[in-house]
Amino acid sequence: MAATRRLIQGAHGISYSLYTGEGLLADTLPAFLEESGNPNVVIITNETIAPLYGTALASRQPNSHLFIVPDGEAYKSQKTVTDLYNQLLSIGADRDIVIVALGGGVIGDLAGFVAATYLRGVRLIQCPTSLLAIADASIGGKVGIDLPLGKNLVGAFKDPMAIFQDRATLKTLPDIEFRCGLAEIIKAGLVGDPDLVQLLVHGDGELGEWIDRAVTVKIAMVEADREEKGQRAFLNLGHTFGHAIEQVSGYQIKHGLAVAIGLRAAAILSVQLGLLSEDEAALITAVLKRHNLPLTTNLDSQALIGAMGTDKKKAGGQLRFVLLEGIGKPTLRADIPLSKLKDTLEELNADPG
Ligand SMILES: NC(=O)c1ccc[n+]([C@@H]2O[C@H](COP(=O)([O-])OP(=O)(O)OC[C@H]3O[C@@H](n4cnc5c(N)ncnc54)[C@H](O)[C@@H]3O)[C@@H](O)[C@H]2O)c1
Ligand SMILES: [Zn+2]
């Protein structure tokens, strides 16, 4: 299938291509690398993706190395970054290499961070393979790693040379990972595309259309505000709660599922502050339910509030929350009383019915 190409405006007025289609890892990506002069390529992937797509990609690609890290958020860490730097040095990788990030959002963030920092930066290609990474994480140039004290606390903005979204890879994605991706697609609808929320709540349309619409929301917000000084922060809807949930659960709760719970928490808080109607909040619960996403946690409220304190989206010592004034109408608030936060978590942990 021929690839569809969209241009994304990156830093310094330089744009890069987002290719979408099926089978791109076998044709469009190798052709792109050949046109780029067949540079030395380091494919960074994990032990799950390597046998599915990594080995094949490396075998087709001249001058390539395959670096395999363990699978899991726990490895989006300083330790893995150090291991990768050492491996790059051991093969004599210079500034002309191209790092190909092949995997879900963890690999995209991790390999992207290595590309942003190794020898002060080498070229990067994003090849997302999970729904979450295709619909969200691979776009926008944010890369980074977690610290023991919290998610994504170290990172950089690193535009790739190109993004290759080979949607054929979704055929091997486990069901639970689909649901994780749907959480971010729902989020995109909630912050920027009310019609998408309607499609999702009724299960209308196809996955490909849902992805395209979420990608469109993300590109628009990222192009308007690459370094998240303003409206890009809207994409963090559900994430202040979500990151706290991930962290307090010891990363047992996956990012996408934590975001789903966080979306409901943001809806509850928005209602409590008189920003959102009960009906709109009910619609959000309905769309999450429709896609079998979790609505509640049994995590300790105090621990969650503590974890939110380390979330980096704090402004001047105050917690910042993306809330909703309606479906498709995000707003940023920093003045949330602790009592409202406690009430929200109490309601969140009560049976949603
Ligand atoms: N940089 C950003 O803008 C941004 C945005 C959203 C999320 N993120 C980050 O992304 C991460 C979550 O990403 P994720 O949900 O993709 O998690 P993930 O990378 O852990 O992937 C989920 C699981 O699916 C497996 N997998 C991926 N593709 C597969 C395929 N095609 N077939 C079979 N298995 C496959 C992975 O090995 C993993 O086990 C978090 O660390 C989050 O912070 C970053
Ligand atoms: Zn996210």
- pLDDT values of the chain reduced to their tens digit, one per residue, 353 residues: 579 999 999 998 899 999 999 999 999 999 999 999 999 999 999 999 999 999 999 999 989 999 999 999 999 999 999 999 999 999 999 999 999 999 999 999 999 999 999 999 999 999 999 999 999 999 999 999 999 888 899 999 999 999 999 999 999 999 999 999 999 999 999 999 999 999 999 999 999 999 999 999 999 999 998 888 888 999 999 999 999 999 999 999 999 999 999 999 999 999 999 999 999 999 999 999 999 999 999 999 999 999 998 765 555 667 889 999 999 999 999 989 999 999 999 999 886 65
Expressed in angstroms and rounded, the spacing between residue 253 Cα and the centre of ligand 1 is 13
Backbone angles phi, psi at 252, to 5 degrees: -75, -30
Ligand 1 pocket test, candidate residues 177, 179, 225, 226, most atoms within 8 A of CB:
177
Indicate the SS3 state at residue 118.
helix
H or E element at residue 262: helix 255-272
The Cα 69–Cα 85 span in angstroms is 12
The Cα 190–Cα 197 span in angstroms is 7
Q: What angle do the packed helices 194-202 and 278-290 form, to 10 degrees? A: 50
The Cα 84–Cα 183 span in angstroms is 30
Expressed in angstroms and rounded, the spacing between residue 56 Cα and the centre of ligand 1 is 20
Is the CB of 71 inside a 6 Å radius of any atom of ligand 1? yes
Indicate the SS3 state at residue 345.
helix
Ligand 1 pocket test, candidate residues 109, 222, 252, most atoms within 8 A of CB:
109
Is the CB of 255 inside a 6 Å radius of any atom of ligand 1? yes
Expressed in angstroms and rounded, the spacing between residue 74 Cα and the centre of ligand 2 is 16
Expressed in angstroms and rounded, the spacing between residue 64 Cα and the centre of ligand 2 is 31
Name the nearest CA neighbour of 304 among 264, 346, 350, 255: 346
Which ligand 1 atom minimizes the distance to the CA of 52? 32
